[in-house]
Protein backbone atom coordinates (compact mmCIF):
# COMPACT_ATOMS: atom_id res chain seq x y z
CA UNK A 1 0.00 0.00 0.00
CA UNK A 2 1.26 3.46 -0.89
CA UNK A 3 -0.20 6.57 0.72
CA UNK A 4 0.74 10.23 0.49
CA UNK A 5 2.80 11.67 3.31
CA UNK A 6 1.50 15.21 2.73
CA UNK A 7 -0.30 16.51 5.79
CA UNK A 8 -4.06 16.22 5.41
CA UNK A 9 -6.34 18.77 7.01
CA UNK A 10 -10.06 19.24 7.48
CA UNK A 11 -11.73 21.89 5.36
CA UNK A 12 -11.93 24.47 8.16
CA UNK A 13 -8.18 24.08 8.68
CA UNK A 14 -7.50 24.54 4.97
CA UNK A 15 -9.66 27.67 4.72
CA UNK A 16 -10.20 28.97 8.29
CA UNK A 17 -12.67 31.73 7.37
CA UNK A 18 -14.88 29.58 5.15
CA UNK A 19 -18.64 29.93 5.54
CA UNK A 20 -20.41 26.63 6.25
CA UNK A 21 -23.83 27.61 7.52
CA UNK A 22 -25.04 29.72 10.42
CA UNK A 23 -24.79 27.19 13.26
CA UNK A 24 -21.55 26.72 15.22
CA UNK A 25 -19.85 23.35 15.41
CA UNK A 26 -19.46 21.23 18.51
CA UNK A 27 -16.05 21.06 20.25
CA UNK A 28 -14.87 18.08 18.16
CA UNK A 29 -16.92 18.95 15.07
CA UNK A 30 -17.94 15.30 14.85
CA UNK A 31 -20.48 12.62 15.65
CA UNK A 32 -19.17 12.07 19.16
CA UNK A 33 -20.14 15.63 20.08
CA UNK A 34 -23.60 14.14 20.69
CA UNK A 35 -23.46 13.06 24.36
CA UNK A 36 -23.36 9.30 24.78
CA UNK A 37 -22.59 8.45 21.15
CA UNK A 38 -19.51 6.25 20.73
CA UNK A 39 -17.47 5.45 17.60
CA UNK A 40 -14.70 3.04 16.64
CA UNK A 41 -12.88 2.82 13.30
CA UNK A 42 -10.66 -0.04 12.12
CA UNK A 43 -8.60 -0.32 8.95
CA UNK A 44 -7.57 -3.64 7.40
CA UNK A 45 -4.56 -3.61 5.05
CA UNK A 46 -2.92 -6.64 3.46
CA UNK A 47 -0.80 -5.66 0.45
CA UNK A 48 -0.08 -9.25 -0.50
CA UNK A 49 -3.77 -10.01 -0.99
CA UNK A 50 -4.85 -6.56 -2.19
CA UNK A 51 -6.93 -5.86 0.90
CA UNK A 52 -7.66 -2.24 1.85
CA UNK A 53 -10.95 -2.03 3.71
CA UNK A 54 -12.34 -1.50 7.19
CA UNK A 55 -15.20 -1.18 9.64
CA UNK A 56 -16.86 1.78 11.36
CA UNK A 57 -18.85 0.96 14.49
CA UNK A 58 -21.30 3.46 15.99
CA UNK A 59 -23.04 2.92 19.33
CA UNK A 60 -26.04 5.21 19.94
CA UNK A 61 -25.38 4.69 23.65
CA UNK A 62 -23.37 2.27 25.76
CA UNK A 63 -26.52 0.42 26.88
CA UNK A 64 -27.99 0.08 23.36
CA UNK A 65 -29.08 -3.50 24.10
CA UNK A 66 -31.35 -2.34 26.97
CA UNK A 67 -32.60 1.08 25.94
CA UNK A 68 -33.07 2.00 22.32
CA UNK A 69 -33.42 5.30 20.50
CA UNK A 70 -36.13 6.66 18.28
CA UNK A 71 -34.84 6.53 14.73
CA UNK A 72 -35.84 7.15 11.14
CA UNK A 73 -34.59 6.14 7.73
CA UNK A 74 -34.60 7.79 4.31
CA UNK A 75 -33.67 6.16 1.02
CA UNK A 76 -32.62 8.77 -1.54
CA UNK A 77 -31.57 6.06 -4.00
CA UNK A 78 -31.82 2.43 -3.08
CA UNK A 79 -29.03 0.61 -4.93
CA UNK A 80 -27.49 -0.49 -1.66
CA UNK A 81 -28.34 -2.13 1.62
CA UNK A 82 -28.97 -1.24 5.23
CA UNK A 83 -30.03 -4.27 7.24
CA UNK A 84 -32.69 -3.85 9.89
CA UNK A 85 -34.49 -1.27 7.78
CA UNK A 86 -37.84 -3.08 7.98
CA UNK A 87 -37.85 -2.95 11.79
CA UNK A 88 -36.66 0.66 11.75
CA UNK A 89 -39.59 1.55 9.52
CA UNK A 90 -42.03 -0.59 11.49
CA UNK A 91 -41.19 0.43 15.06
CA UNK A 92 -39.16 3.61 14.64
CA UNK A 93 -36.59 2.27 17.08
CA UNK A 94 -32.85 1.67 16.90
CA UNK A 95 -31.72 -1.18 19.16
CA UNK A 96 -28.39 -2.08 17.60
CA UNK A 97 -24.96 -0.71 16.84
CA UNK A 98 -24.69 0.81 13.37
CA UNK A 99 -21.86 -0.81 11.43
CA UNK A 100 -20.54 0.62 8.15
CA UNK A 101 -18.33 -1.53 5.95
CA UNK A 102 -17.88 -2.83 2.40
CA UNK A 103 -20.52 -4.54 0.29
CA UNK A 104 -19.30 -8.10 0.74
CA UNK A 105 -18.76 -7.72 4.50
CA UNK A 106 -22.41 -7.22 5.43
CA UNK A 107 -22.82 -10.85 6.49
CA UNK A 108 -19.73 -10.85 8.70
CA UNK A 109 -20.79 -7.57 10.32
CA UNK A 110 -24.30 -8.87 10.95
CA UNK A 111 -22.89 -12.03 12.52
CA UNK A 112 -20.43 -10.02 14.60
CA UNK A 113 -23.18 -7.97 16.24
CA UNK A 114 -25.11 -11.14 17.08
CA UNK A 115 -21.99 -12.88 18.39
CA UNK A 116 -21.34 -9.93 20.70
CA UNK A 117 -24.90 -10.05 22.03
CA UNK A 118 -24.93 -13.80 22.60
CA UNK A 119 -21.54 -13.69 24.33
CA UNK A 120 -22.30 -10.71 26.56
CA UNK A 121 -26.09 -10.50 26.86
CA UNK A 122 -27.20 -14.00 26.02
CA UNK A 123 -30.01 -16.19 27.31
CA UNK A 124 -29.35 -19.85 28.23
CA UNK A 125 -32.47 -21.04 26.41
CA UNK A 126 -32.85 -18.61 23.52
CA UNK A 127 -29.19 -17.77 22.96
CA UNK A 128 -29.94 -14.06 22.78
CA UNK A 129 -31.21 -12.06 25.72
CA UNK A 130 -32.95 -9.16 24.01
CA UNK A 131 -34.92 -8.35 20.89
CA UNK A 132 -32.72 -6.86 18.22
CA UNK A 133 -32.18 -6.67 14.47
CA UNK A 134 -28.58 -5.75 13.55
CA UNK A 135 -28.08 -2.56 11.53
CA UNK A 136 -25.32 -2.83 8.92
CA UNK A 137 -24.83 -0.51 5.92
CA UNK A 138 -22.43 -0.88 3.01
CA UNK A 139 -20.73 0.82 0.10
CA UNK A 140 -18.62 -0.76 -2.66
CA UNK A 141 -14.81 -0.53 -2.41
CA UNK A 142 -13.88 -3.10 -5.08
CA UNK A 143 -11.55 -0.81 -7.05
CA UNK A 144 -9.03 -0.47 -4.23
CA UNK A 145 -9.93 -3.54 -2.17
CA UNK A 146 -9.98 -7.23 -3.01
CA UNK A 147 -13.56 -7.93 -2.01
CA UNK A 148 -13.16 -11.65 -2.70
CA UNK A 149 -10.72 -11.90 0.22
CA UNK A 150 -13.61 -11.36 2.65
CA UNK A 151 -11.18 -9.66 5.01
CA UNK A 152 -13.77 -8.34 7.45
CA UNK A 153 -14.55 -10.93 10.12
CA UNK A 154 -17.11 -11.01 12.96
CA UNK A 155 -14.21 -10.46 15.37
CA UNK A 156 -13.65 -6.99 13.90
CA UNK A 157 -17.21 -6.03 14.82
CA UNK A 158 -16.88 -7.37 18.36
CA UNK A 159 -13.66 -5.38 18.72
CA UNK A 160 -15.41 -2.29 17.38
CA UNK A 161 -18.29 -2.56 19.85
CA UNK A 162 -15.92 -3.09 22.76
CA UNK A 163 -13.54 -0.34 21.65
CA UNK A 164 -16.01 2.42 20.77
CA UNK A 165 -15.33 5.70 22.59
CA UNK A 166 -16.47 9.32 22.66
CA UNK A 167 -13.08 10.56 21.41
CA UNK A 168 -12.52 12.22 18.06
CA UNK A 169 -11.72 9.62 15.41
CA UNK A 170 -9.67 9.43 12.24
CA UNK A 171 -11.28 10.54 8.97
CA UNK A 172 -10.52 9.86 5.32
CA UNK A 173 -8.94 6.41 4.82
CA UNK A 174 -10.44 5.07 8.02
CA UNK A 175 -13.05 2.58 9.14
CA UNK A 176 -15.50 1.48 6.50
CA UNK A 177 -14.28 4.34 4.32
CA UNK A 178 -10.75 2.95 3.98
CA UNK A 179 -11.16 1.89 0.34
CA UNK A 180 -13.83 4.32 -0.83
CA UNK A 181 -13.70 6.80 -3.74
CA UNK A 182 -15.61 10.09 -3.94
CA UNK A 183 -16.10 12.54 -6.81
CA UNK A 184 -12.87 11.84 -8.65
CA UNK A 185 -10.67 11.61 -5.55
CA UNK A 186 -10.01 9.34 -2.62
CA UNK A 187 -13.05 9.45 -0.35
CA UNK A 188 -13.94 7.68 2.87
CA UNK A 189 -15.10 8.59 6.36
CA UNK A 190 -15.99 12.14 7.34
CA UNK A 191 -17.84 13.81 10.17
CA UNK A 192 -19.12 17.19 11.36
CA UNK A 193 -21.51 18.64 13.94
CA UNK A 194 -23.67 21.66 14.64
CA UNK A 195 -25.04 23.16 17.86
CA UNK A 196 -28.53 24.67 17.83
CA UNK A 197 -29.98 26.85 20.57
CA UNK A 198 -33.15 25.35 22.02
CA UNK A 199 -35.85 26.13 24.57
CA UNK A 200 -37.17 22.78 25.84
CA UNK A 201 -39.61 24.02 28.48
CA UNK A 202 -40.18 26.93 30.78
CA UNK A 203 -37.53 29.60 30.43
CA UNK A 204 -34.36 27.52 30.69
CA UNK A 205 -32.16 27.71 27.61
CA UNK A 206 -30.47 24.61 26.33
CA UNK A 207 -28.40 23.59 23.33
CA UNK A 208 -28.90 20.62 21.05
CA UNK A 209 -26.25 18.95 18.92
CA UNK A 210 -26.86 17.51 15.46
CA UNK A 211 -23.95 15.56 13.97
CA UNK A 212 -23.25 13.58 10.82
CA UNK A 213 -20.92 10.75 9.93
CA UNK A 214 -20.62 9.82 6.26
CA UNK A 215 -19.09 6.97 4.31
CA UNK A 216 -18.56 8.85 1.05
CA UNK A 217 -18.17 6.74 -2.09
CA UNK A 218 -20.20 8.55 -4.73
CA UNK A 219 -20.17 10.90 -7.68
CA UNK A 220 -17.86 12.15 -10.41
CA UNK A 221 -15.21 14.84 -10.64
CA UNK A 222 -17.21 17.14 -12.93
CA UNK A 223 -19.95 17.50 -10.31
CA UNK A 224 -17.76 18.18 -7.26
CA UNK A 225 -18.82 21.48 -5.69
CA UNK A 226 -17.31 22.96 -2.53
CA UNK A 227 -19.31 25.74 -0.85
CA UNK A 228 -20.77 26.68 -4.22
CA UNK A 229 -17.46 26.67 -6.11
CA UNK A 230 -17.39 24.17 -9.04
CA UNK A 231 -14.02 22.79 -7.97
CA UNK A 232 -14.43 19.57 -9.93
CA UNK A 233 -14.91 21.45 -13.20
CA UNK A 234 -11.88 23.61 -12.45
CA UNK A 235 -9.70 20.52 -11.96
CA UNK A 236 -11.22 18.72 -14.97
CA UNK A 237 -10.57 21.73 -17.22
CA UNK A 238 -6.97 21.94 -16.02
CA UNK A 239 -6.45 18.25 -16.75
CA UNK A 240 -7.97 18.56 -20.21
CA UNK A 241 -5.84 21.61 -21.03
CA UNK A 242 -2.74 19.65 -20.02
CA UNK A 243 -3.76 16.69 -22.17
CA UNK A 244 -4.31 14.45 -19.15
CA UNK A 245 -7.00 11.72 -19.14
CA UNK A 246 -9.84 11.73 -16.61
CA UNK A 247 -8.73 10.58 -13.15
CA UNK A 248 -8.63 6.85 -12.48
CA UNK A 249 -11.33 7.32 -9.86
CA UNK A 250 -13.79 8.55 -12.49
CA UNK A 251 -12.94 5.68 -14.82
CA UNK A 252 -13.57 3.25 -11.97
CA UNK A 253 -17.01 4.73 -11.36
CA UNK A 254 -17.98 4.04 -14.97
CA UNK A 255 -17.92 0.33 -14.11
CA UNK A 256 -19.60 0.52 -10.71
CA UNK A 257 -20.87 3.78 -9.30
CA UNK A 258 -20.57 4.28 -5.58
CA UNK A 259 -22.85 5.23 -2.77
CA UNK A 260 -23.03 7.24 0.41
CA UNK A 261 -24.22 6.28 3.87
CA UNK A 262 -25.11 9.15 6.20
CA UNK A 263 -25.64 8.62 9.92
CA UNK A 264 -27.20 11.57 11.76
CA UNK A 265 -27.30 11.71 15.55
CA UNK A 266 -28.87 14.29 17.85
CA UNK A 267 -29.66 14.77 21.51
CA UNK A 268 -32.71 16.85 20.61
CA UNK A 269 -35.85 14.94 21.68
CA UNK A 270 -37.32 13.69 18.40
CA UNK A 271 -39.85 10.93 17.82
CA UNK A 272 -39.46 8.43 14.99
CA UNK A 273 -41.28 10.47 12.36
CA UNK A 274 -39.18 13.53 13.15
CA UNK A 275 -36.02 11.41 12.89
CA UNK A 276 -37.08 10.33 9.42
CA UNK A 277 -37.65 13.96 8.48
CA UNK A 278 -34.19 14.82 9.83
CA UNK A 279 -32.66 12.01 7.76
CA UNK A 280 -34.23 13.47 4.62
CA UNK A 281 -32.29 16.70 5.13
CA UNK A 282 -29.03 14.86 4.52
CA UNK A 283 -30.11 14.98 0.87
CA UNK A 284 -29.65 18.76 0.93
CA UNK A 285 -26.08 18.47 2.17
CA UNK A 286 -25.31 15.78 -0.40
CA UNK A 287 -26.73 17.89 -3.22
CA UNK A 288 -24.59 20.89 -2.28
CA UNK A 289 -21.45 18.81 -2.83
CA UNK A 290 -22.59 17.52 -6.23
CA UNK A 291 -24.39 14.30 -5.34
CA UNK A 292 -27.32 13.42 -7.61
CA UNK A 293 -28.41 9.98 -6.42
CA UNK A 294 -27.55 8.24 -9.67
CA UNK A 295 -29.19 4.97 -10.68
CA UNK A 296 -26.58 2.49 -9.34
CA UNK A 297 -25.87 4.49 -6.17
CA UNK A 298 -26.97 3.43 -2.71
CA UNK A 299 -27.70 6.70 -0.92
CA UNK A 300 -29.19 5.72 2.43
CA UNK A 301 -29.54 7.98 5.46
CA UNK A 302 -30.40 7.07 9.06
CA UNK A 303 -31.05 9.48 11.93
CA UNK A 304 -31.51 8.76 15.62
CA UNK A 305 -32.21 10.75 18.77
CA UNK A 306 -30.58 9.86 22.08
CA UNK A 307 -32.88 12.05 24.18
CA UNK A 308 -35.54 9.47 25.04
CA UNK A 309 -34.65 6.06 26.44
CA UNK A 310 -36.93 3.58 24.72
CA UNK A 311 -37.30 0.18 26.44
CA UNK A 312 -36.13 -2.82 24.43
CA UNK A 313 -37.81 -6.18 24.95
CA UNK A 314 -35.71 -8.41 27.21
CA UNK A 315 -36.10 -12.19 27.20
CA UNK A 316 -36.13 -12.52 30.97
CA UNK A 317 -38.13 -15.05 33.01
CA UNK A 318 -38.22 -12.81 36.08
CA UNK A 319 -41.98 -12.24 36.73
CA UNK A 320 -41.23 -8.78 38.09
CA UNK A 321 -39.85 -7.75 34.70
CA UNK A 322 -42.55 -9.26 32.53
CA UNK A 323 -44.87 -6.98 30.60
CA UNK A 324 -48.41 -7.98 29.68
CA UNK A 325 -48.56 -7.42 25.89
CA UNK A 326 -52.36 -7.07 26.03
CA UNK A 327 -52.44 -4.24 28.57
CA UNK A 328 -51.27 -1.00 26.94
CA UNK A 329 -48.64 0.73 29.03
CA UNK A 330 -47.81 4.43 28.88
CA UNK A 331 -44.24 5.52 28.28
CA UNK A 332 -43.69 9.25 28.78
CA UNK A 333 -41.39 10.98 26.29
CA UNK A 334 -40.41 14.49 25.29
CA UNK A 335 -40.55 15.71 21.71
CA UNK A 336 -39.63 18.90 19.90
CA UNK A 337 -42.53 21.00 18.67
CA UNK A 338 -42.65 20.67 14.87
CA UNK A 339 -43.05 24.43 14.52
CA UNK A 340 -39.63 24.93 16.12
CA UNK A 341 -37.69 22.20 14.31
CA UNK A 342 -36.20 24.17 11.40
CA UNK A 343 -32.86 24.83 13.07
CA UNK A 344 -32.31 21.09 13.45
CA UNK A 345 -33.12 20.56 9.77
CA UNK A 346 -30.58 23.22 8.76
CA UNK A 347 -27.99 21.71 11.08
CA UNK A 348 -28.47 18.24 9.57
CA UNK A 349 -27.94 19.55 6.04
CA UNK A 350 -24.90 21.63 6.98
CA UNK A 351 -23.26 18.84 9.01
CA UNK A 352 -23.74 16.36 6.16
CA UNK A 353 -22.21 18.76 3.66
CA UNK A 354 -19.15 19.46 5.79
CA UNK A 355 -18.71 15.79 6.68
CA UNK A 356 -18.36 14.99 2.97
CA UNK A 357 -15.78 17.76 2.56
CA UNK A 358 -13.85 16.42 5.55
CA UNK A 359 -13.85 12.91 4.10
CA UNK A 360 -12.30 14.28 0.90
CA UNK A 361 -9.84 16.61 2.60
CA UNK A 362 -8.58 14.02 5.09
CA UNK A 363 -8.29 11.10 2.66
CA UNK A 364 -4.83 10.22 1.35
CA UNK A 365 -3.70 8.94 -2.03
CA UNK A 366 -3.66 5.16 -2.00
CA UNK A 367 -2.42 2.41 -4.29
CA UNK A 368 -4.46 -0.71 -3.73
CA UNK A 369 -5.84 -3.80 -5.44
CA UNK A 370 -4.27 -4.53 -8.88
CA UNK A 371 -2.01 -1.48 -8.34
CA UNK A 372 -4.98 0.84 -8.78
CA UNK A 373 -4.10 4.32 -7.56
CA UNK A 374 -6.63 6.94 -6.48
CA UNK A 375 -5.29 10.41 -5.78
CA UNK A 376 -6.15 12.57 -2.79
CA UNK A 377 -7.91 15.88 -3.36
CA UNK A 378 -5.18 18.55 -3.77
CA UNK A 379 -5.63 20.85 -0.80
CA UNK A 380 -3.47 23.62 -2.24
CA UNK A 381 -5.60 23.82 -5.38
CA UNK A 382 -8.77 23.71 -3.30
CA UNK A 383 -7.62 26.59 -1.13
CA UNK A 384 -6.63 28.64 -4.18
CA UNK A 385 -10.02 28.08 -5.81
CA UNK A 386 -11.97 28.91 -2.67
CA UNK A 387 -9.87 32.01 -2.00
CA UNK A 388 -10.58 33.19 -5.52
CA UNK A 389 -14.24 32.33 -6.01
CA UNK A 390 -16.08 31.77 -2.74
CA UNK A 391 -18.01 34.48 -0.91
CA UNK A 392 -17.18 34.79 2.76
Q: Which residues are catalytic?
A: 259, 297, 299
Count of H-run helices and E-run strands, the chain: 10, 15
CA 130 to the chain's CA centroid = 26
How far apart are alpha carbons 135 and 68 in whole angstroms? 13
How far apart are alpha carbons 94 and 310 in whole angstroms? 9
- Largest Cα–Cα distance of the chain, in whole Å? 76
Q: What are phi and psi of 373, to 5 degrees?
A: -120, 130
Going by C-beta distance under 8 Å and a sequence separation of 6 or more, which residues neighbour residue 68?
60, 93, 94, 95, 309, 310, 311, 312
SS3 208: strand
Query: How distant, in Å, are the alpha carbons of 6, 148, 222, 338, 350 from that of 232?
Result: 21, 32, 5, 38, 20
Angle at which helices 282-289 and 272-280 cross, to 10°: 10
Amino acid sequence: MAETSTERRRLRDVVPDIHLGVWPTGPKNGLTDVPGVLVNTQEIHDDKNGVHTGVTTILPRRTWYKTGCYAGLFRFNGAGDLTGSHFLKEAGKLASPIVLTNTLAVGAAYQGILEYVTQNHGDPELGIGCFMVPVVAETFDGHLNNLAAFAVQPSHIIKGIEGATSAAFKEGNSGGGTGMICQGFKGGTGTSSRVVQGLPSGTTDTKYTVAALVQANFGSLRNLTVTGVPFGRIVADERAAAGQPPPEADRAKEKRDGSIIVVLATDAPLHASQCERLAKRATVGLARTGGYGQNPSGDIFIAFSTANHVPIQQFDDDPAKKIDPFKPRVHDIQVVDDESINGLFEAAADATEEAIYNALCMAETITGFHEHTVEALPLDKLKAALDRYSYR
